[in-house]
A and B are shown apart, each in its own frame.
Chain A
């Protein structure tokens, strides 16, 4: 079974799906509400590590799937609470303050992951994780986990699509495009940002849980800023204000490097260890600069509110 499938192709696709999920959530934060979040790795990493620590260091009286579910719920909750706190911290700051607040949070998580060696294993990493089920060979387990994660990200996409056609999404867009005007209409922009960050950060934490189980091993460099910037590069290439922007953009960035170049372009073997991963980041950076200079709305272009309103309502 699954002989046709390369194990590395599963993990490559898994990475693409992860970053699409993060990109979708960043779209709600930065694309609609225009709150800068450069600390995605922090929220994601908090979920990753909280799950890893709870799952391996606590002596649970019951086994999987309950052990997994309880730990995953706790990790999601931890990220949601962190999101709430960071949103409170930056809600009334300008974009510079938001940058420092979110980047500072991500750095705190990175430092904790490195320094608390008793819990996290420090730079040596944290192992001892496993799939909450057994479907035979590791490849089968991984494939099932990949499908579950894809289902989760599809759920996030559906939520984002729903947000676009809900009064909640309209509130987020209003806060994002003209916060003083939204406040004068009686909208609490602070509360909007708090609920937004609680939900989206919680989901980022849950994506971190999926990562922890897939690779069964966690090291601090997992939670570096590169994952934040990969999600951002994909989202901005696709179109930061569009629901499908992250999906399209991440396929063209991470998908290109981690699937197409990795498996379908014949390149010298020794390039794959260093040259290609480094070139990947350089290209993501260049893409961010070029897209924002020459096509700031991305591949999908402007938010198309009129067409959406016509589909949803009948007032014309």
Chain B
């Protein structure tokens, strides 16, 4: 299937359903993500945002429906048929919602792990480590400096540092579509600003960013478009101002003080 070239990669979710224990958690008829640079996914707890993100990454199998990636060059891939580890090669990357890290690995290890292409991870490639570090030296130094990591040869200590490290790993994968699940939760304000800056930069470079966030300021400030979900369904998709003023959204989620 070929179609005209796009400026951004898009993800089309069609008829996607998922239920746990007989309770429908996600039921999305039709949703296009990535048609604007930064898109927000908003909704009350239990709206199915995180589950939808995991379904897109195929770390949770779908009960019904398909998720398709339409790439910039016009080709398309059915993500809901790919194993989880093939997502990155197709340019789709997601940060983790729960703080997670590799127990024994240092910050530098994490960055090199994200940067290493399979060719470097050959069990018999003798000088791979030096070559890998050399090829990406500037990039590593830039990221370490930008986010103010301490000693890169230490294991990430605080939950905030692990969270930030997770985002930096995602950035290093140079995604076409980046899904961020509560990226700034638990980060101090100055670091949140740095992360938002990096996201904007990435979006300006042609990456489609989709972001789930409970910090509404981040959503209003960052997003070009917002999708509102409740009880597993997409209720509306519009620009931030419209969403903010909508009576259903106010009633179901934002509450009176935001009106």
Which residues of A does B touch, CB under 8 Å? 162-163, 165-168, 170-171, 173-174, 177-178, 180-189, 192, 195-196, 199, 241, 302-303, 305-306, 309-310, 312-313, 315-316
Contact = CB atoms under 8 A, between A and B. Distances in A.
B206 interface: no
A245 B57 CA distance: 39
B98 to A, nearest CB: 10
Given A166-B128, A186-B89, A305 B84 contact: no
Most buried by B among A162, A165, A184: A184
Contact of B102 (A163, A177, A241): A177
Most buried by B among A162, A178, A196, A315: A315
Given A168-B122, A178-B103, A315 B153 contact: yes
Contacts of B154: 306
B201 interface: no
Of all A-B residue pairs in the complex, the 8 with the closest CB atoms, nearest first, are A186-B88, A183-B85, A309-B153, A167-B120, A167-B116, A177-B103, A177-B102, A183-B84
B112 interface: yes
B140 interface: yes
Contacts of A303: 104
Contacts of A310: 153
Contact of B104 (A165, A173, A182): A173
B84 A184 contact: yes
B105 A187 contact: no
Contacts of B32: none
Interface residues of B, number: 46
B114 A184 contact: no
Contact of A316 (B116, B133, B152, B169): B152
A316 B151 CA distance: 6
22 contacts: A165-B129, A166-B125, A166-B129, A167-B120, A167-B121, A167-B128, A167-B129, A168-B123, A168-B125, A170-B105, A173-B104, A174-B105, A178-B100, A184-B85, A184-B87, A186-B89, A187-B121, A195-B123, A306-B151, A306-B155, A310-B153, A315-B141
A168 B155 contact: no
Most buried by B among A173, A182, A186, A316: A186
A200 to B, nearest CB: 10
Interface string B53-93: 00001010000000000000000000000011111110001
